[in-house]
Amino acid sequence: MMMASQLDDELKLFSGSSHPQLAQDICDYLDIPLGRSQTTRFANDNLFVKIEENVREKDVFVLQTARAPVNDHLMELCIMIDALRHASAARITAIIPYYFYVRSDKKDEPRISVTARLVADLLAAAGANRVLTMTLHSDQIQGFFRMPADQLSAVPLICEYFADWDLSDFVVVAPDAGSARRAGAYAERLKLPLAVGDKRRSSNHDDTTTIQGIVGDVEGKNALLLDDEIATAGSMLGLAAYLQENSDVEEVYAGAAHGVLVGPALERLARPPFKEVVVTDTLPAPEGAGNCNLKQVSVAKLFGKAIRAIHTGESVSAIFR
Amino acid sequence: MMMASQLDDELKLFSGSSHPQLAQDICDYLDIPLGRSQTTRFANDNLFVKIEENVREKDVFVLQTARAPVNDHLMELCIMIDALRHASAARITAIIPYYFYVRSDKKDEPRISVTARLVADLLAAAGANRVLTMTLHSDQIQGFFRMPADQLSAVPLICEYFADWDLSDFVVVAPDAGSARRAGAYAERLKLPLAVGDKRRSSNHDDTTTIQGIVGDVEGKNALLLDDEIATAGSMLGLAAYLQENSDVEEVYAGAAHGVLVGPALERLARPPFKEVVVTDTLPAPEGAGNCNLKQVSVAKLFGKAIRAIHTGESVSAIFR
Amino acid sequence: MMMASQLDDELKLFSGSSHPQLAQDICDYLDIPLGRSQTTRFANDNLFVKIEENVREKDVFVLQTARAPVNDHLMELCIMIDALRHASAARITAIIPYYFYVRSDKKDEPRISVTARLVADLLAAAGANRVLTMTLHSDQIQGFFRMPADQLSAVPLICEYFADWDLSDFVVVAPDAGSARRAGAYAERLKLPLAVGDKRRSSNHDDTTTIQGIVGDVEGKNALLLDDEIATAGSMLGLAAYLQENSDVEEVYAGAAHGVLVGPALERLARPPFKEVVVTDTLPAPEGAGNCNLKQVSVAKLFGKAIRAIHTGESVSAIFR
Amino acid sequence: MMMASQLDDELKLFSGSSHPQLAQDICDYLDIPLGRSQTTRFANDNLFVKIEENVREKDVFVLQTARAPVNDHLMELCIMIDALRHASAARITAIIPYYFYVRSDKKDEPRISVTARLVADLLAAAGANRVLTMTLHSDQIQGFFRMPADQLSAVPLICEYFADWDLSDFVVVAPDAGSARRAGAYAERLKLPLAVGDKRRSSNHDDTTTIQGIVGDVEGKNALLLDDEIATAGSMLGLAAYLQENSDVEEVYAGAAHGVLVGPALERLARPPFKEVVVTDTLPAPEGAGNCNLKQVSVAKLFGKAIRAIHTGESVSAIFR
Amino acid sequence: MMMASQLDDELKLFSGSSHPQLAQDICDYLDIPLGRSQTTRFANDNLFVKIEENVREKDVFVLQTARAPVNDHLMELCIMIDALRHASAARITAIIPYYFYVRSDKKDEPRISVTARLVADLLAAAGANRVLTMTLHSDQIQGFFRMPADQLSAVPLICEYFADWDLSDFVVVAPDAGSARRAGAYAERLKLPLAVGDKRRSSNHDDTTTIQGIVGDVEGKNALLLDDEIATAGSMLGLAAYLQENSDVEEVYAGAAHGVLVGPALERLARPPFKEVVVTDTLPAPEGAGNCNLKQVSVAKLFGKAIRAIHTGESVSAIFR
Amino acid sequence: MMMASQLDDELKLFSGSSHPQLAQDICDYLDIPLGRSQTTRFANDNLFVKIEENVREKDVFVLQTARAPVNDHLMELCIMIDALRHASAARITAIIPYYFYVRSDKKDEPRISVTARLVADLLAAAGANRVLTMTLHSDQIQGFFRMPADQLSAVPLICEYFADWDLSDFVVVAPDAGSARRAGAYAERLKLPLAVGDKRRSSNHDDTTTIQGIVGDVEGKNALLLDDEIATAGSMLGLAAYLQENSDVEEVYAGAAHGVLVGPALERLARPPFKEVVVTDTLPAPEGAGNCNLKQVSVAKLFGKAIRAIHTGESVSAIFR
């Protein structure tokens, strides 16, 4: 039904500044060269992007992940999309392994922004035609998009890491009721029992929350603390400390799709009771990651397969079944 | 900054066919007459709506709740909004106490519709300027709207119902990890412990799920099964049966914001171990509600206050603090 | 100019619940299998649609006709389109043989909805890229669309039915001035004279209208009552009764593009002076159609040709010249 | 609900170049001064409009009618609306007594534009918030607008002109089936019988049409040829000539909402059998109108009332009941 | 990634009424026939466009240049685009060699329209997918478009005209500071010095401006007055007169991308000190062009190359490097 | 025409993090308190904004200027606007004294973004209703907005600074032809002669440009280098150095609307031949500004007047005439 040009139907993948290694890994998997572009920062802190090869009527993908400086990377992505659109790219897919403002997904206080939705709107305004992302904080975020948005899951990748472990005395523990659904998905796949931290607002009315108990049986087990992301590891540290003090928990392992790992995170995870931390490479490993026992699982092949399916019109879900 | 007409600044509230009693209750609270409109169904099953009073430059509210026949009510709402818009209403707020397709809030299978978001789009296309709703299945649904959308919470209303009960031996139980967050909100407000059903996919690969244990302590307690809605009560029945068989649970109470109560729901809830069921009147009580011990808490005053705040520009959140 | 994938360029046709037989007939004509999808109605009356085969980058058509329950079918269509769009269909054409709310095409009273236009907006909001329909109540309805909308005509099909009849003593009769244009199109094609009912508002001010005369010569002739649709057949019955009582009309035949045929329609058309009723199958024949002398002309081939032309980029108008 | 500035809530009416007299007449009725603006045509044929008074937060109306040069006037209207929008007018209502491209309201040939709908889109793109117009060629055109569009009717004004005539031997005649609906509206209001020209495509296949008979009784009567507009008067001349030659018609009167009256129109209407021509002043009387017996009925008061109702939020339909 | 039809991928070029010769020249260069369409002007001054060949899924270009009558040509372009869109063209590129309202590119007075931006909005509303134009009055105008807009430059073409001249005693002169940037581009390419007229508002406060000096050295040189367009040539005449009176300038040559040449332009340029005038054929040469020494440089090949690059997805910028 | 609430019509001004002092100065001038809001940066570098007072139906202004870190400030502005919109602000005006990405206003290379236009689109997507800014790099940028955008001019403020100086031996110098228009505006207002640097691309093909002469008379004068902004002062330094070396220029003064003053700017401007630098406070003075002779002219009163005019619907242009 559409017109065909015999001249070119190749796909192009460009990379923003946030994670060029992952972009290169995906290109290696796809056996294509990384698209040439250049981002300059002017003296006045304005970014300037130049796409350095022809993209007319090409099927273009741009990879950017929500790493700090977050707003620079988000704006660089918008500028790249805008440049590509006006350069007549046939279709622009934003690949965002760790989605921007993914935690700002609801209005749980008056007069705040559901910024994860605002980001969807800004990407659309810039000219993105579709989005490919991984393990959102909540599945509903997909509904923030008016354009097709594919969400890959990191859960199988993380679970696969434990494939040949003897997990017979392990239990998956979620820090609180709000994360029970996410931890439950890991538990179900690993066929492990689930426990949930019972976190309550402190009695001193200062809006902080503390764990006041564990719902479920953890005595004498090894604990797997699994969630969608680890930022400062504060929540996991609190849970691990509680488990150590109040239960006869043996070892504690932490895992998440996204290793944000900022501030005191690495330091916290390097100390007992933490034995090992498993994340994917949707974000580059932070400096000093060697200090803690951090394992990174690569998502490059998964993204590569998804990109190829999107490009050729094959089913994305079929590939990962 | 805007121009003022001295002629009229009253608000108007119209009602669709789904729940005229609630619309009338709200009007009574606000001390205004219900707006006159008429919905006719032609022989060819087409609806025809006529707004029977002038709405030019008025601040108009239309109430419709997602009761069966759901699609007739949704389309009637769209038609009313369209008629009001072209009749020059200054602003149209759709009041949807129980939101349409509220459970279809994520794409957890390939090639399905996030219909809760589609509904937001259809309401916008019809001309709605804002939405006022109550207790969405997930808070993220607010992010589906590009227009201002206020969400009222039924949790305080339901909790208030238990205000003068002695709850010292009660525990709030969520049927599964996915609903732990919602049940946790009740538990926190009632200052009660929380337990969670450990639901797993059956081993016979038929995609059904069964409760295989309870995470948390329920022995010898009375169970409060609290969620956002009760439809067929199948999930609550399964949980209650498990509690009855496997734990020394005394009495079981069910509660929810929305009493959808369809199919075998009333029959199921009328039998032990259920003692009492508490819902709000975001939906009319179904026929035969007398058979089970169903209590309805009115939301009319809450909606009335919110409408007045929206109309006069006062803070909605301030009122309910 | 666009990129070509060698992998797939086939077209897909899915069917809503309203008229699977016609969808199958069109697929048979096109020699393609009907697309696999499943519509479920949940206990709470919400519809759930699952597209059961890959549609990425496919040229997708969805057939739904405005049969009762009309709003269920309209909403099912919107949900299917939304699911297809987010499943990355390249283009989505809504095939609506009998268009939704086709009679609500003007604002002839204050504060009503031009619902035929609202439907166009809702389809666009859901994600339809184009529409293919047949014999609209007024041609202007095509202007309600911002997307390309092709309108096929049932007039040649109905006229062809009479191709080998001796029509020398026939006259086409329109029930009133408002339908004179539509009846005139049949008359011109059949090369028959035209007469028009002179319908006036009753003197008793009750807003009903009655036929007070026939403009044109009908004496001793056979009358062909032809219009765009027959719903309850009330208008045609009134005209036929008047002709019988006041003129020396011999036999009466009724015909229309769309056989809505609801309520007392079949009963009315089964009795003299009606001899025979001709419609197309844009709507399934109602139950009990055997009681009256109802003839259905198939539109499957016509729609099949149009779909193929749309898919391959041939001229649609050229085919039907 | 909106904020009120005590400073100003007056309405402003600006006039394009097409019909300043009508704009002034309406201002006189409303007792307001005509808004100051200036349109210049540069040497390169570009128009330049300057709004010469403050319109911030004002309720602004702009009058332009579809008089030749039509495209200059349409573009001038778009430019005025654009200037007003960016000058922060609170609301802009385009008053278009004779709507642009009103006859291009359907796609009755392949690959043509429904330009009446395109005009609605262009006005929206320029920034119009609403439209006020009169007697559209077909009522469905109102559905072309996504913004509120009020249509006034000229039928009562034209009929009122004949209020004190003795019409006992008059008949309303429509030139063909396509205009029967419009002529019927006059006939019903004047309580006169209706006749319809039977126009057919010529047998010599040249796509012209000729009247081949009159459906209805006209013998010995005076004929009122009434339609929505008179352009070249060709259709009316053909009808009048046929009536003169084939029937014993006495006198012929022509009337229409819009006196386009271009080309040979005045000359044709100045000759027998035409006795008198009645139109409104939605268009200025053409030069040489004195030659034929042309009567103009003023629409200024009707538009004035409608503008005031729109401004103050009163019902427009109530006024004209 | 898109579907391919083997049936057709040819491009089509249609021409509006403003400059059929250029459209034909481009078609000749591309070796394709000019698309068949017909524009009719009805008696009521409405335009009617009929596209006379199938354009479904074709890559369609429409050429129209901003020649007088400007608004007729702009509206004809919008109507053609609208007709093509609803006739299912795959992509519509508006080729506008001399852009409409190109001088109205900023809001330098209160309450005026940035009409060059309004035109971009109107073209988008009509359905244009991209624009191809040449030498805009300011480069920022490209930013008025949300769709891809390619701007070709006439500067190389004009400079090439002087390629084999001995320019050793030439200077490029800009009439005022506002045009210095544009004249500077010519000067840089021709490697010539630049001088700038020092134009000031007259002391008699009548808003007119006069040249009060020349910034830069022009004594004894030949002056090349180069700008983006020559309309009435008033500005160039003033500059030439000043140079003649106040400096020892030898000969004066005028050049511009766009030869608007209206009003007294030809007469002014035919007289000394003007020796020769060079423009491109983005506009047809006006009648009487023979009287002055007017040279037209053809842009057909340049546009032809750009169209082919757009169609095949090659880099447009690469071609002209 | 709009509804009036007697409750509140006050305006609110909120400040982003970029320039709270200017926001406070404007509030002081307007005699209103600064709106309460709080911006937090999470550990993962995401911003979180909370509007801390009711804004329903208020006329809200948000001030943010394009200071480094530019993208943080831009995103904070978008988030504030989004929060305000969903908190039901009646109207949101973004006050951007120094506009974001103001230099990226044209596509002078292939495949780059006109980011100043992208910013306009992002602000619209976030929900801004209008923009108030000052002295854009080019006036055409106003055309990038579809919403009303008011541009204030800093030229009178800067010129006023020199009001009581004896400027009889001063000349305004523009660094190149591209800035001649902007410098000319100062020169005209100060009634001073203008000179322009003749900047050419270097012969060694490295794309750098150098001043190769001065067009105009500067000998023995004092030079005023005036432009829209001073960033690194590189361009001004080059010009000053050339003037010093090649002409008998006495003293050099620099001035601009926006004192971006980054990198080596202060150091460069602190040394001879620079005597003094004048800018407005659209940006806060950089640290170390004391080292050079930097004078800041306040824009607070000008913005305050404009905000009041926007709020009350008075003419903005009238105030500044």
**Mean pLDDT throughout B231-244?**
92
Neighbours of chain D (3+ CB pairs under 8 A): B, C, E, F
Residue of C81, C85, C88 for testing the chain A interface, max A β-carbons within 10 Å: C88
DSSP-assigned letter for residue B285: P
Mean pLDDT of chain E: 91
Structure confidence at residue C9 (pLDDT): 61
CA-to-CA distance for D181 and D158, rounded, in angstroms?
A: 16
CA-to-CA distance for A33 and A37, rounded, in angstroms?
A: 12
**Which among C45, C111, C122 has CB closest to B51?**
C111
**Mean pLDDT throughout C226-255?**
92
In terms of CA atoms, which chain E residue is nearest residue F188?
Answer: E200
Does residue C6 register a pLDDT over 60? no
Q: What is the pLDDT of residues E69-115, one digit of tens each?
A: 999 999 999 999 999 999 999 999 999 999 999 999 999 899 999 99
In the chain, the amino acid numbered A172 is V
Q: What is the pLDDT of residues C170-213, one digit of tens each?
A: 999 998 888 888 999 999 999 999 998 888 776 665 667 788 88
**Which among C5, C90, C313 has CB closest to E7?**
C313
Q: How far is D167 from chain E (nearest CA, A)?
A: 32
Q: How far is A213 from chain F (nearest CA, A)?
A: 27
SS3 (DSSP) at F139 = helix
**How would you class C67 by CB atoms within 10 Å of its CB: exposed for 0-12, middle for 13-18, buried for 19 or more?**
buried
Does residue A22 register a pLDDT over 80? yes
Which of C31-35, C312-316, E244-248 has the least mean pLDDT? E244-248
Which stretches of chain D drop beneath a pLDDT of 50? 1-8
Q: What is the pLDDT of residues F164-222, one digit of tens each?
A: 999 999 999 998 888 888 999 999 999 999 998 888 776 665 667 788 888 888 888 99
CB contact under 8 A, B86 and C110: no
Q: What is the pLDDT of residues B105-118, one digit of tens each?
A: 999 899 999 999 99
Q: What is the pLDDT of residues E206-232, one digit of tens each?
A: 667 788 888 888 888 999 999 999 999
CA-to-CA distance for D305 and D321, rounded, in angstroms?
A: 12
Select from F205, F180, F228 the least CA-distant residue to E183: F180
**Mean pLDDT throughout A303-314?**
95
Mean pLDDT of chain F: 91
Query: At D11, which helix (H) or strand (E)?
Result: strand D11-15
Residues of chain B with Cβ-Cβ distance to C78 below 8 Å are 118, 122
**Mean pLDDT throughout F35-61?**
96
- pLDDT band at residue E46 under the 50/70/90 scheme: very high
CB contact under 8 A, B7 and D58: no
Question: Other CB atoms closer than 10 Å to residue A135's CB: what's the count?
Answer: 26
CA-to-CA distance for B31 and B308, rounded, in angstroms?
A: 11
Q: What is the pLDDT of residues D228-252, one digit of tens each?
A: 999 999 999 999 999 988 888 889 9
- pLDDT band at residue F86 under the 50/70/90 scheme: very high
Does residue A321 register a pLDDT over 80? no
Does residue A8 register a pLDDT over 60? no
Asked if residue F4 lies in contact with residue F26, where contact means CB atoms within 8 angstroms, the answer is no
In terms of CA atoms, which chain A residue is nearest residue B217?
Answer: A215
Does residue C7 register a pLDDT over 50? no
Asked if residue F78 lies in contact with residue A114, where contact means CB atoms within 8 angstroms, the answer is no
Most confident of B291-295, C116-120, D137-141, E312-316: C116-120
CB contact under 8 A, F1 and D91: yes
Q: What is the pLDDT of residues E22-44, one digit of tens each?
A: 999 999 999 999 999 999 999 99
ipTM over 0.85: yes
**Chain F: which residues have CB within 8 Å of chain B?**
1-5, 7-9, 11, 54, 56-59, 85-88, 90-91, 310-313
Structure confidence at residue A7 (pLDDT): 34
Question: Other CB atoms closer than 10 Å to residue C223's CB: what's the count?
Answer: 25
Structure confidence at residue E3 (pLDDT): 39
Does residue A11 register a pLDDT over 50? yes
Q: How far is CA E200 from CA C7, E103, E213, E246, F161, in A?
A: 67, 20, 9, 17, 22
DSSP-assigned letter for residue E112: B
**Chain A: which residues have CB within 8 Å of chain E?**
1-5, 7-9, 11, 54, 56-59, 85-88, 90-91, 310-313
CB contact under 8 A, A74 and F72: no
Which of E166-170, E179-183, F69-73 has the least mean pLDDT? E179-183
CA-to-CA distance for B238 and E207, rounded, in angstroms?
A: 86
The whole model's pTM is what?
Answer: 0.94
**Mean pLDDT throughout A33-53?**
96
Mean pLDDT of chain B: 91
Catalytic site includes residue F199: yes
The answer to whether chain B touches chain E by having 3 or more C-beta pairs less than 8 angstroms apart is no
Distance, first Cα to last Cα, chain C: 30
- pLDDT band at residue F5 under the 50/70/90 scheme: very low
Does residue B240 register a pLDDT over 90? yes
Does residue F1 register a pLDDT over 60? no
Residues of chain D with Cβ-Cβ distance to E263 below 8 Å are 43
Structural tokens at position D104: 């291009």
Asked if residue B37 lies in contact with residue B59, where contact means CB atoms within 8 angstroms, the answer is no
Q: Which of F199, F275, F301, F305 is catalytic?
A: F199
**Mean pLDDT throughout A28-55?**
96
Structure confidence at residue F284 (pLDDT): 97
Structural domains in chain B plus CATH codes: 4-153+300-320 (3.40.50.2020), 155-297 (3.40.50.2020)
Q: How far is D154 from chain B (nearest CA, A)?
A: 21
Q: What is the pLDDT of residues D200-234, one digit of tens each?
A: 776 665 667 788 888 888 888 999 999 999 999 99
Structure confidence at residue B311 (pLDDT): 95
Structure confidence at residue A3 (pLDDT): 39
CA-to-CA distance for F285 and F307, rounded, in angstroms?
A: 23
Residue of A1, A5, A10, A142 for testing the chain C interface, max C β-carbons within 10 Å: A1
Residue of B49, B113, B117, B266 for testing the chain C interface, max C β-carbons within 10 Å: B113
CB contact under 8 A, E144 and F144: yes
Structure confidence at residue C5 (pLDDT): 39
Beta pairing partners, C91: C59
Catalytic site positions of E: 199
Structural tokens at position E165: 């001249």
Structure confidence at residue E321 (pLDDT): 61
CB contact under 8 A, F313 and D7: yes
SS3 (DSSP) at A176 = coil
Residue of C194, C203, C221, C227 for testing the chain D interface, max D β-carbons within 10 Å: C194
- pLDDT band at residue B212 under the 50/70/90 scheme: confident
In terms of CA atoms, which chain C residue is nearest residue E310?
Answer: C1
- pLDDT band at residue A68 under the 50/70/90 scheme: very high
Structural tokens at position D262: 């271009």
DSSP-assigned letter for residue E143: G
Structure confidence at residue A42 (pLDDT): 94
Structure confidence at residue A189 (pLDDT): 93
Question: Other CB atoms closer than 10 Å to residue D104's CB: what's the count?
Answer: 25
Q: Which of A58, A199, A221, A305 is catalytic?
A: A199
Q: What is the 3-state secondary structure (H, E, C) of chain D?
A: CECCCCCCCCEEEEECCCCHHHHHHHHHHHCCCCCCEEEEECCCCCEEEEECCCCCCCEEEEECCCCCCHHHHHHHHHHHHHHHHHCCCCEEEEEECCCCCCCCCCCCCCCECCHHHHHHHHHHHHCCCEEEEECCCCHHHHHHCCCCEEEECCHHHHHHHCCCCCCCCEEEEECCHHHHHHHHHHHHHHCCCEEEEEEEECCCCCCCEEEEEEECCCCCCEEEEEEEEECCCHHHHHHHHHHHHHCCCCCEEEEEEEECCCCCHHHHHHCCCEEEEEEECCCCCCCCHHHCCEEEECCHHHHHHHHHHHHHCCCHHHHCC
Does residue B7 register a pLDDT over 80? no
Structural tokens at position A256: 């998440």
CB contact under 8 A, C1 and E54: no
The answer to whether chain D touches chain A by having 3 or more C-beta pairs less than 8 angstroms apart is no
CA-to-CA distance for F92 and F90, rounded, in angstroms?
A: 7
In terms of CA atoms, which chain A residue is nearest residue C307?
Answer: A1
**How would you class E50 by CB atoms within 10 Å of its CB: exposed for 0-12, middle for 13-18, buried for 19 or more?**
middle
DSSP-assigned letter for residue B109: S
Structure confidence at residue C217 (pLDDT): 86
Structure confidence at residue B204 (pLDDT): 60
Structure confidence at residue C225 (pLDDT): 96
Neighbours of chain C (3+ CB pairs under 8 A): A, B, D, E
SS3 (DSSP) at A123 = helix
CA-to-CA distance for D44 and D50, rounded, in angstroms?
A: 18
Sorted by sequence, the CB contacts under 8 Å of residue A278 that are 6+ apart come out as A158, A161, A253, A254, A255, A256, A294, A295, A297
Q: How far is D143 from chain B (nearest CA, A)?
A: 10
Residues of chain C with Cβ-Cβ distance to A148 below 8 Å are 85-88
- pLDDT band at residue A176 under the 50/70/90 scheme: confident
Which of B127-141, E217-231, F286-300 has the least mean pLDDT? F286-300
Structure confidence at residue D211 (pLDDT): 86
